[in-house]
A and B are shown apart, each in its own frame.
Chain A
Amino acid sequence: MKKMYLTRETLEKLKQELEHLTNVKRKEVTARIAKAREYGDISENSEYDAARDDQSFIEGRIAELQEILKDSKVLEKPQSTDAVDIGSKVRVEVDGQHDEFEIVSSIEANPMQGRISNESLVGKALLGCKVGDVITVSSTIKATYKILEIK
């Protein structure tokens, strides 16, 4: 897994989630499985099947979180505002309007809140750009962005 840059807040949330899953959810689902076994034949036991499905999901999420946390670094505010980097806030002109994005890792992306992934077509294209640069993400419909400010 490649190194992921995450805000301190997100890292803390992920750590808390991992702790909750390992200390609470894992125990709960193990207890549910044990109880479901008491109902008898597990081949015809829907409670047992549901609990096993949940266990599989919880274990998968624990593994995923452990992997993310192992490979993550705290995203510090970029030292320089000369060029767009992950963590930069970028003000752009697009379609005759102004917009503002923060470039973040995919796991934190949410364009509805102004955070776009460094792996999205636009996010990737903005990386390395300087004020005044114009980028166009081309397909039949072209999307053109002029960089006005890097914070």
Chain B
Amino acid sequence: MENFVKFFIEIGKLKFTKRKWYLHGIPKEESESVTDHAFRLALMSWHFSRKRKLDTARVLKISLVHDLCNVYLGEYTPYDKVLTGDQKKDDEIMRVLPRFSKADKERSSREQRDAEERALDKLLSILSNDFGEEIKELWNEYERQNSPEGRFVRQVDQIERLLQALEYNNTGKLNSVNPFWFQVKEWLYDKELIEFIESLDDHFYEGKAGKTHVEKSSN
């Protein structure tokens, strides 16, 4: 059982591992931890999965393990490379969602996955048993999006981030909530999840915008 003791002590560090909200103006001491995020993601994913042909137990497990690699890596973001370390400059960079070419996105996504996989393998080497193998399989489903449950949790993950951003925005400390809205509009394709972000819009902006719609103008 010694390996389980070591493993649970290691993942306990995630209670104190802050997510990188400081990139968006939130002081480190006020940022949520990795486990804070996983807790609400798990409940949201559970709720939204109930009416679907999805394995809820798997959805919950994926939500719980999807960021375990952060134990050794911290939160890895695709924006780490464009940041300068100068808070003022970085605030300006992160005010809008930094954009990259498709080739850069593919390369950065591959590098992120490799780094996260190495960190996860290091963590799971403590276990070296079927529990660890199951965690790796679930993480792969999320990361490579090769199961309906993995793809679903990935979308809910975007919503949890948006909700957190909206809550920070209400404190007046978030640099800009816009990048989070852009992301959900590009990520989400599940109809009920899209309806939910409309409810978030209603709740946080008192329904000023009405239903999400598209305006188009041609040259």
Listed in ascending order, the chain A residues whose CB lies under 8 Å from chain B are 13, 17, 53, 56-57, 60-61, 64, 89, 94-102, 106-107, 109-114, 116-117, 119-125, 129-141, 143
Contact = CB atoms under 8 A, between A and B. Distances in A.
20 contacts: A56-B55, A57-B55, A64-B148, A95-B96, A98-B99, A98-B101, A112-B78, A116-B187, A120-B186, A130-B218, A132-B219, A133-B216, A133-B218, A135-B214, A136-B215, A137-B214, A138-B209, A139-B198, A141-B177, A143-B182
Main SS class of interface, A:
mixed
B145 interface: yes
A56 B58 CA distance: 11
A98 B209 CA distance: 26
A60 B149 CA distance: 12
B109 interface: yes
Query: Looking at chain B, what size class is its interface with the partner chain?
Result: 35 or more
Interface of B: 53, 55, 57-58, 78, 96-102, 105-106, 108-109, 112, 145-148, 151, 177-178, 181-183, 185-189, 194, 197-198, 201, 204-205, 208-209, 212-219
A97 B99 contact: yes
A113 B58 contact: no
**Most chain-A CB neighbours within 10 Å: which of B98, B102, B146, B181?**
B102
